[in-house]
Amino acid sequence: MTRGMTDFSPHELQAHRLNLYPRPDRSSMTAEALARAVGATKAQILAYEKGHRVPDPPRIRALAKALKIQPWMLMNRDASDTWTLADWRRAMGLRAQDVVTLLAISPKNYRRFENTGIVPSRRPQFVDEVAAALNMPRQVIESAIDRTPAVKDRQARAYELVVAMAEKYVPRRGPWKGPASDDKNLHELAEAYGRPVQRLRRVLTYELGEIRQSQVRALRERVVADYDTDRDRQANASDAFARWNDIFERDLAQIPQRLERFHRTAQPSDIWQILVDLYSVDATVRADAGTWAVAALLGKHAHALPPHMIEHHTVDDIDVCRLTARGANHVNSFAGLYAALYPTVRKPLRPNARGNARSRSLTPETFTVPGHPERLVLTLPVIETARSALTGAKRSLLQARLSTSYTLTMSATALTVSPAEAEEPSSNPS
């Protein structure tokens, strides 16, 4: 019996072979026919169906292909909500070496990811890559990672380490400096997440600094509750003190989960900058579901945008994209952490109560392609660069190729789309 394949279900194999779950594109098969399709013998197929033998992962894939189903449909799925990533991999009929080959990664790094949930630092899209290799939704992969015993143990230990550092550093008077670089708890936490100590220090300086603000507010209310002569103000302050303490404890408890999520999804500075620019588009001009950013004008790293954060589309032959809900949530959740790691990167614009972006008079500009209802948008950096180029070169027009079929012409006040000429000099404002 192959290790890890104990969830194989003989009943499911027989049921799918006999087409007990009828589908228009499938009919029942004899054991002989199935055996021929997968390069086995009739005796082997019957042994699988009687539970006398368990097929190895390659044979699982072959059986599923012959039966026109997914490999996991041959498993006993009653306990699938407890499966780890290794369980799902085996359920998809893959050996660890198969995934290593598909992803072109070292066996050591893949085993580390599968056993501990640590994403290789140089592969920020690795969870998306694994999801594609296993032909599974990313959400299923993430849930499976969360069930991994080592991940649960790391979060439990991370909470202990974070609490210890909070108790040591948060109450200190004076300017906030965060944990000391040589703190042993910080070093243990950095090792647990497989990241440099100074990176973890910046992350925790931000996280603990946020909850420190809650403690400061709680202490202010406590002073009022203890010393104010007005009883109503004392009572209100006492309630506020309790609320701020609750917020402090809640946010402290969430830091380990935030660390886990952040180190699983964190992007390098150039990709983060593009996510910020797309978020700022949403904060300024995206009034409906029909506004898209032109991918070709987002910069040379646009091809590396994380798939689960970006929705792609085409308008004629122009590649366009925008943030998904998960992408927007990522920007919202971790903007402070990225600012701590990459202080020079542009920060996302935030809409005010009326839905307009704050703090910038310049806004993204939109245009349309003839015959298409979608609004296409230029992000703020593209506009700023293009306007500067027009001013600096004392030119009235600037052109950029949007696709093989279209050219964008930009003036100081307008954007115009026209058919691209056969040979056109490239002048990309980004």
Task: Break the chain into its structural domains and give their ranges.
Answer: 10-146, 150-265, 269-377
Q: What is the mean pLDDT of residues 242-250?
A: 96
Q: Are 144 and 113 in contact (CB under 8 A)?
A: no
Tens-digit pLDDT profile for residues 28-66: 899 999 999 999 999 999 999 999 999 999 999 999 999
Tens-digit pLDDT profile for residues 180-197: 999 999 999 999 999 999
Instruction: Assign 118 to helix, strand or coil.
Output: coil
**What is the pLDDT of the chain when averaged over all its residues?**
89
Tens-digit pLDDT profile for residues 154-169: 999 999 999 999 999 9
pLDDT band at 360 (very low <50, low <70, confident <90, very high): very low
H or E stretch including 202? helix 197-227
**Residue 407, burial from CB neighbour count under 10 angstroms (0-12, 13-18, 19+):** middle
Tens-digit pLDDT profile for residues 84-125: 999 999 999 999 999 999 999 999 999 999 999 999 989 999
Pick the CATH number of 10-146 from 3.30.70.140, 3.30.1330.40, 3.20.20.70, 1.10.260.40: 1.10.260.40
d(CA 162, CA 179): 10
Report CA dihedral (248, 359, 416, 405) to the nearest 10 degrees.
-30
Tens-digit pLDDT profile for residues 65-91: 999 999 999 998 888 899 999 999 999
Q: Which two tokens stand for residue 170?
A: 């948060």
d(CA 177, CA 255): 18
d(CA 177, CA 201): 10
Q: What is the mean pLDDT of residues 116-137?
A: 94
Percentage of the chain beyond pLDDT 90 is 70
Percentage of the chain beyond pLDDT 70 is 91
Q: Domain 269-377 belongs to what topology? A: Arc Repressor Mutant, subunit A (1.10.10)
Taking CA atoms, 7 is separated from 56, 83, 89, 258, in Å, by 12, 10, 12, 33
- Res. 287: pLDDT tops 60: no
pLDDT band at 286 (very low <50, low <70, confident <90, very high): low
pLDDT, position 399 = 84
Q: What is the reported pTM?
A: 0.85
